[in-house]
Amino acid sequence: MPAAGSALAALFAAPMRPGRVAWIGLRPARREPVHPVEEALAVAGQGLEGDRYRTRSEGARQVTLVAAEHLAAIAAYLGLERLDPALLRRNVVTTGVNLLALKGRRFELGGALLEYSGECHPCSRMEETLGPGGYNAVRGHGGITARVLRGGTVRVGDALRLADAAQPPA
């Protein structure tokens, strides 16, 4: 993060337009397929009810998010017209917001309050799932991880908006 009071810090803190939840997926166990759902319950300190990464240890990877715009880039890198979000194994696909701009910030996702906790890098499984070149296609486009600070319901179509700054209207 830039030094407090610097011009760069002011840019990092600038308002951003809200995004939207485009897709939600839950994976009940390791190596199980991701099941698309219309809504999910975010549990404070744990993650999404019914997802394998739901934890009781306040872990950093409680919810994973990826931008639909990055799914389009990954598909293009693989020579595909589109990429099924379930193949990337993230919980939430967003649209209209640069997820990396959430670094160091808290944001509302539907009725839940989340906090950016890191980047979500690809794993070696991307080669198995997406085919040769899958890992490199996802590099830099894997999305982010977040912690759930306040639980609530998240639905497809809900807004993703900053919780710690003024924002322009949707």
Give per-residue pLDDT as tens, 7-47: 887 877 777 899 999 999 999 888 889 999 999 999 999 99
- Asked if 54 and 46 touch (Cβ cutoff 8 Å), the reply is yes
Higher pLDDT, 57 or 14: 14
| Count of beta carbons in the 10 Å neighbourhood of residue 125 | 12
Distance CA 155, CA 23 (A): 8
Higher pLDDT, 147 or 123: 147
What distances in angstroms separate CA 138 from CA 8, 40, 70, 165, one per listed residue? 28, 25, 9, 30
Per-residue pLDDT, 165: 57
Query: So where are the chain's domains?
Result: 19-156
Least confident of 3-7, 111-115, 145-149: 3-7
Say which CATH architecture domain 19-156 belongs to. Beta Barrel (2.40)
Give per-residue pLDDT as tens, 92-126: 999 999 999 999 899 999 999 999 999 999 988 89
Q: Is 138 helix (H, G, I), strand (E, B) or coil?
A: helix
Q: Is residue 56 very low, low, confident or very high in pLDDT (cuts 50, 70, 90)?
A: low
Q: Is residue 57 very low, low, confident or very high in pLDDT (cuts 50, 70, 90)?
A: low
